[in-house]
Each structure stands twice: as C-alpha cells, then as structure tokens.
A and B are shown apart, each in its own frame.
Chain A
C-alpha cells in the first residue's frame, strides 16, 4: 500500500510580505515554508506508515527550489519524493494544477489500497480547490476537512469538520483526503533522517516524462490551459487612521466613552 502526499512550498505570509510595483507578490524576496495544512497531510501519511508500514511518497508541483521542502519531508520519514516541474506547467490555475498533479499521480500508479493525502488549502491562495479537483480527475472519492482518520484494511473512517460540528464518513480506498492542520501535530525531523534525506529516492517529472498521460494535454495545462485568468490585481488602500487618544488611562477611556455615547454607538 502507498500513501501519496501532495505538498506545496509557499511564501511565508505570516512574516514580511513584499509586493512588486505591479501589484504581484515578490516571491523571490520572501522566505518559503511548507504549507501548514500540507504538513498535517504528511503527518497523517507517516502515522499510517507507523501503523501499517505503508510506503509514503511526497509529491509536489513547483519550481526546482521546491526540492528543499521535499527533502524535509524525507527527513521526517517519507520514503521517496517526486517533483513535477517544467516550464509548460507554469501559470497554471487550480484547474490546470490539479490536472497536472493528477497526471503525475496516475503516472506513478495508484493502487487499490492507496490513499492520497492533501492539505485542505495553501496559505498563498487559500482556495482549497486542488485536492477535490485531483480527486475528480482521477475519478476517486474524496473526503475534505479531515480532522481524524482511522484505516482498517480498505476502509477509512474519517471525521470531517463542519462549521457547526462534524460528520463521520466511511470511504473505500483508493481515495483522496484533505487534511486540516488541527488533525495532528506534524513531527519534527530526526538527526538521522536529515543525514539521509539527500540519499533517498528523488525524481523530477517534467513535461516530457508526462506528456503521454491522457490528463496532460497542452490545452488543459499551464497558463493556456487555465480556465481562470487574473483580470486585475491590486493592493487595498489602508484605511485612514483615526484618532489616538492621549492622557492617562482614565482620561483616554472617558474621552472614548463620551464620544461613543455622543455618536449613539453605545
């Protein structure tokens, strides 16, 4: 049995964010991290490996520097890594991205007992679309927002989060699960894991390697194959600053409350 994990290297939006003059993100100047929800997916797969000894394969689509992230996943305990990378894939929206990753996964071969884990969403786009769209393109059942996973043979029992509670869903393998970061606490790397992570199997799948896959068609991948386009991107204006109150705590509070009362806000 194999557990595939789809991971994405993203700019760390919690830190300093640099924006180019033309309103796009200056990715080059920003630190990158492994998308947090994806780390939960890696941990879910590694837990499965701890329980039943399955093979864990991490898969990413991105430019060559994404290798560093994949090596980290290997240092955490994944067995092998695959980077889907090529100029032909650039500019893909979620539809085209899932088309390419699904093509890559079917190239790797999905078995009867296999599970594909994805993070719920990436912090750079926050779309939560790639997971379900991979599932659709591979014609697999999906369970999103997984907060608890139990596997028994070919059956997975998943607790799926709703805003006001949860559902327990039973699904058969092969299937795709998207994980939320509340699912688990991702493990750290071990020293020996780090020492050997550059020796573990690592392969790059480029366009040539995948072009015979039915899903990989120039009309459905890359910028040209993307149904959605950016019409315009812009920075929101800063709301004008209000008044800074001065004086002692008592004075500030009394001025505030008087003003709110005057404006009939309270």
Chain B
C-alpha cells in the first residue's frame, strides 16, 4: 500500500523515536529486571503516543487506526515490549471506555489515560476462563449504590502498576455463558483489591503481568461501564482493536528480526565468504521478506477497513492477527537459524525477538480462537 504523506511522516517519526530512545541499555534492563520503565513511558506520554488513536476531546491525538498500527509496528521493530507501552491505553485500556463510557467516565478515566497520566488495564481472563471468557466466575452483587466484586483475574498485563482496571464480572448470576456479564471501572486502590506476584515470562519482559484479586471490593454504580449485563459484546469489540495492535506488533517484530538477519548474513563469513552467498541463507531471507510484505498489506488494509466501518472488519482483524503473529514466529525462527549458534545467545537481538514473538499467537485470542472467529464469520 502506498501511504499518504502524513502516514509516511508518522512512520518516520515513530521510527526515529524508537531508534533514538529505545537504547540497548534500556532494552537489556527491561529484559533482565522485568520492571516497568517509567522514564521511557513518560517520554512516550510527552509526545502523546499513549493517546495516538484516542479522540482529541479526550486528551488524545485523534489519529486513525493506520497511525496506531504504524506506531506499534515501528516500536516493535526496535523493541516488542515497548510497543505494548503505548498500545495499552489506545486499545484494551481505552477501548471499552470509548465504546460505551458516559461523558463523565470518559473525562474522568480516558483523558488521563490518553495523556499518559494514569494507567488503565483490561481484566477479562481468569484462571478457568481463557479462550472461553463466558465461563468466568468473578461476581458482582448489587448492594444499594454499590456493587460488591469477588473473584480472581489472571495474566493481566500492566496490573502491578495500574491505576484502574476494566474488570469483567458476572452480574446476572442466573445466566450462563456470555450473557449477564458487566464491566466495571475498578480503582486499584480500593479496599479489597490486590495483585499477585508478577509472572516470570518467556519474553516481553519489562511490562509486568500479574493476577488481580478482588475480595469484597465495593465499586460505586457510577463506575459501571455500559449497560448492565451487556459487557461481553463490548469485550469482543475491544478485542478487535487489540488484535490489530498485536498484528502490528508481530509485523514490527518480524521486520526487526529480518533486518538483523540481513546485516548478520552480510557480515558473517564462513568458508571464506559471507554466509549470504549461500542460497540456503539468502532464500530464507527472501521468504521472510515476502511473508512480511504480504502481512503488511493485509494489516494496512484491515486498518483502513476498520476506520471505514467495513462489515468484515472484525473478521479482517482476526485474520491480520492470526497471519501476522504466526508469520512473526516463522520469521523469527528463521532469523535465529541464520544466526546459527549466535542466535541462541542473548547478546544478539534475534534471541529476544524469538522469545517475544512467542506470545503473539497466544494473547488477545490464540491463533485457534482467531480461526474460530474467521470461520464463524464465513459460515454464518
């Protein structure tokens, strides 16, 4: 796709930011400590990246989905975990609020999130409700002006430092499956809210993930988000936005791995010549680049379809997420292969790309869940 002048400039700007600010030191520190880097976060916030896709009236930048995709892609090309930083408020954090928040809720919660002053996380998954969120057991029982929440959410990205969580809980205890689920904006400082220990992850270290435990947490009814019992549909719609973000992150990760591989193949010499002279290597590079370009076209088209209100947008989001994330894993595996033994050593960037890519076919719906969404859409 030929990008507009504005979108070309966005790519250039995001790339310049990532290449300048995501230093090797910061990336190594993120991977070693697993801790959130506030300095880089504040820089992203300063330039409005936390609100790229959020409307101007709510403190955002008013960008379209393609702008948001370019940001995730360019950030992930240098450091996949840092793509998540700016992504969260634009997608899973801000999405449910944008979908059905009242004006008051938007001003109170979305604006500071878009400006990077507060963190909102998305709390859907439970230990027993992953791909099947309909089987969630977290409950919210009305008590006068309050709802009392009890339950446990798991794998919540950003939970340890979040200010607010969008928590999904069953409000209609009689209903089964996806019905009778509501959304609440939960202040993480409320009595009864606690976080589990941050998980030790394979990759994307530097954006802590933990459980959120809710014990008799009293949430005021003004923090009920959207209509009662109807939260599940919003969750699914939000996930579309999240999926396109993961697709972009996957694409960037693959692009980064390809560029590392090209440089290495030209530099590394065996049998008296650069290894790129061997077709076994150069053809791998050709395959990687071709897959990346195909994925990019699918992804950008999806971004435009989403903004245009295309009825197939939801399916396209799943397709993009499915294809890009699987593609990133294939590309990163080849990248490690091209690097030989060095690809297994932490000093080389592809080692981290390979580990980071692994999450991409898992979170925000596994590849198999995407296949379900796509096939249902085809067969309906």
Name A residues whose Cβ lies closer than 8 Å to a Cβ of B. 68, 71-72, 75, 187-192, 194-195, 197-198
Cβ contact within 8 Å between B17 and A194: no
Contacting residue for B61 out of A188, A191, A198, CB 8 A: A191
Q: Are B67's CB and A191's CB within 8 A?
A: yes
Interface size on B, residues (CB 8 A): 17
Q: Do residues A75 and B9 form an inter-chain contact, with CB atoms below 8 A?
A: yes
Interchain CB contact under 8 A, B9 and A189 = yes
Contacting residue for A194 out of B10, B16, B56, CB 8 A: B10
Q: List 6 A-B contacts (CB under 8 A).
A: A191-B10, A191-B71, A192-B63, A194-B10, A195-B6, A198-B6
A71 to B62 Cα, complex, angstroms? 19
Most chain B beta-carbon neighbours within 10 Å: one of A68, A75, A192, A198? A192
B48 an interface residue at 8 Å Cβ cutoff?
A: yes
Q: Are A191 and B49 in contact (CB under 8 A)?
A: yes
What's the least CB distance linking B68 to chain A, in Å?
9
Which B residues lie at the A interface, using CB under 8 A?
5-6, 9-10, 13, 16-17, 47-49, 52, 56, 61-63, 67, 71
Q: Cβ of A188: which chain B residues have Cβ within 8 Å of it? A: 13, 16-17, 47
B237 nearest CB across to chain A (Å): 23
Judge whether B61 and A195 touch: CB under 8 Å.
yes
Q: Which of B5, B10, B67 contacts A198 (CB 8 A)?
A: B5
The interface residues of chain A lying within 8 Å CB-to-CB of B16 are 188
> Contact at A192–B9, with CB atoms within 8 Å?
no
What is the CA–CA distance of A197 and B61 in the complex, to the nearest angstrom?
13
Contact B9–A194 (Cβ < 8 Å): yes
The answer to whether A191 touches B48, judged by C-beta atoms less than 8 angstroms apart, is: yes
The winner among B9, B52, B56, B71 for most chain A CB atoms within 10 A is B9
A72 close to B48 (CB less than 8 A): no
Query: Which residue of B9, B10, B47 is within 8 Å of A71 (Cβ)?
Result: B9
A194 and B4 CA atoms in complex are apart in Å by: 11
Q: How far is the CA of A72 from the CA of B47 in the complex (A)?
A: 15
Measured in the bound complex, the distance between the Cα atoms of B287 and A252 in whole Å is: 42
Cβ-closest chain B residue relative to A191: B61
In the complex, what distance in Å separates the CA atom of A72 from the CA atom of B56?
Answer: 20
Smallest Cβ-Cβ distance to A192: which chain B residue: B61
> Which residue of chain B has the shortest Cβ distance to A67 in the bound complex?
B5
Across-interface contacts of A197 in B (CB, < 8 A): 6, 9
Q: When chains A and B are docked, how far (Å) is the Cα of A189 from the Cα of B48? A: 10
Closest residue on chain A to residue B67 by CB atoms? A191
| A67 shortest CB reach to chain B, Å | 10
The reply to whether A190 and B9 contact each other, CB–CB distance below 8 Å, is: no
In the bound complex, how far is the Cα of B187 from the Cα of A190, in angstroms?
Answer: 30
Taking a contact as CB atoms under 8 Å apart, the answer to whether A75 and B63 are in contact is no
> Are A190 and B48 in contact, CB atoms less than 8 angstroms apart?
yes
Residue of A nearest to B53 (CB): A191
